[in-house]
């Protein structure tokens, strides 16, 4: 596939999506969001790909935010439309049935932080910087930041970051639970690829059911969430992966999963 503002690479069962506007610190405009949407749809529909890594081209930035030069002259209707496009694309990332890992290298601000929060797992380098600085521009976050941030970190911490627009470093982001691991800049991509390969080596039906169970369960009460889990657990026993996985365990060998 050909894109204007991203690069999509495939290696084995792993796809890597690079936001590729380094001169603009990988800021998100409409074309970039549409590129991301098309790439995620392709990934989701591919039988050859199991895990998606999203990262930023260059060493300075994951995504420094939505493109201010693109937004500054918008009226209220145009801004709402742009916000809803970003929400649609990030919700697609959140709900695609396969795992998505954010590899965060540098600035992860505004729309970039919102993009990272839509991913299943967030791994960052020690140089990463995080924040929702939109109030300093006279606007609110528009791509889901006011909703995902308080679901990931404590609501009070989320409000502190949202109301002040403060930018935090990688270790503070880890402390509050915004990211899942901090590694060196040199190690980042190798670490994330190893993680993606480990996930891809597991039973993919089960991995995808785990994502559905977690995402859907978090949005309902615990009793309904347990029903969701039980239903998905039961469905696993209608798969070839379950038969192979348990047989391999009994036979003390590595399972050869087919994703069926």
CATH architecture label of 204-250: Orthogonal Bundle (1.10)
User: Can 134 be counted among the known catalytic residues?
Assistant: yes
Question: What does DSSP say about strands 107-109 and 129-131: parallel, antiparallel, or unpaired?
Answer: parallel
- Exactly one of 59, 97, 114, 240 is catalytic; which is it? 114
pLDDT of residue 174: 98
Residue ranges of domains in the chain: 6-200, 204-250
Query: Alpha-carbon distance 217 to 205, whole Å?
Result: 18
Query: Alpha-carbon distance 145 to 195, whole Å?
Result: 26
Domains 6-200 and 204-250 share a fold: no
User: Are the beta carbons of 159 and 140 closer than 8 angstroms?
Assistant: no
* Nearest alpha carbon to residue 128 among 183, 90, 166: 183
- Which class is 6-200 in CATH? alpha beta
Question: What does DSSP say about strands 14-19 and 6-11: parallel, antiparallel, or unpaired?
Answer: antiparallel
User: Are the beta carbons of 106 and 131 closer than 8 angstroms?
Assistant: no
pLDDT of residue 197: 97
Q: Is the pTM of this model over 0.85?
A: yes
- Exactly one of 59, 126, 134, 244 is catalytic; which is it? 134
User: Can 114 be counted among the known catalytic residues?
Assistant: yes
Q: Concatenate the DSSP letters of all residues of the chain into one string.
A: ---SSEEEEEETTEEEEEE--GGGTT-B-HHHHHHHHHHHHHHHH-SS--EEEEEESSSSEEE--B-HHHHTT--HHHHHHHHHHHHHHHHHHHHSSS-EEEEE-SEEETHHHHHHHHSSEEEEETT-EEE-GGGGGT----SSHHHHHHHHS-HHHHHHHHHH--EEEHHHHHHTTSSSEEE-TTTHHHHHHHHHHHHHTS-HHHHHHHHHHHHHHHTS-HHHHHHHHHHHHHHHTTSHHHHHHHHHHHTTS-------
| Average pLDDT per block of 10 residues along the chain, 260 residues long | 91 97 94 97 96 94 92 94 97 97 97 98 98 96 97 97 98 98 97 97 95 95 96 94 92 88
pLDDT of residue 259: 83
Query: Residue 1, exposed/middle/buried by CB under 10 A (0-12, 13-18, 19+)?
Result: exposed
pLDDT of residue 193: 98
pLDDT of residue 260: 87
**For 183, phi and psi rounded to 5 degrees?**
-130, 175
Vertex 22 angle, CA 20 and 23, to 5°: 130
């Amino acid at each position: 596939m050909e894109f204007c503002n991203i690069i999509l690479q495939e290696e084995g069962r792993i796809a890597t999506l690079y936001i590729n506007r380094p001169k603009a610190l990988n800021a998100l405009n409409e074309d970039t969001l549409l590129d991301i949407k098309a790439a995620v749809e392709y990934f989701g529909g591919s039988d050859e790909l199991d895990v998606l890594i999203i990262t930023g081209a260059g060493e300075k930035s994951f995504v420094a935010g939505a493109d201010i030069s693109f937004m500054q002259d918008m009226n209220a209707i145009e801004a709402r439309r742009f916000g809803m496009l970003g929400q649609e694309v990030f919700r697609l990332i959140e709900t695609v049935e396969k795992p998505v890992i954010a590899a965060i290298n540098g600035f992860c601000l505004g729309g970039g932080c919102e993009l990272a929060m839509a991913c299943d797992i967030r791994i960052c380098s020690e140089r990463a910087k995080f924040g929702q600085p939109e109030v300093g521009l006279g606007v609110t976050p528009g791509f889901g930041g006011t909703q995902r941030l308080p679901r990931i970190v404590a609501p009070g911490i989320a409000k502190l970051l949202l109301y002040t627009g403060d930018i935090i470093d990688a270790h503070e982001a880890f402390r509050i639970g915004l990211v899942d691991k901090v590694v060196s800049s040199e190690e980042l991509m190798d670490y994330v690829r190893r993680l993606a390969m480990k996930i891809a080596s597991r039973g993919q039906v089960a991995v995808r059911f785990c994502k559905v169970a977690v995402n859907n369960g978090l949005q309902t009460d615990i009793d309904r969430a347990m029903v969701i889990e039980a239903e998905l657990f039961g469905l696993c026993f209608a798969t070839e992966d379950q038969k192979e996985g348990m047989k391999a365990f009994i036979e003390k060998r590595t399972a050869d999963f087919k994703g069926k």
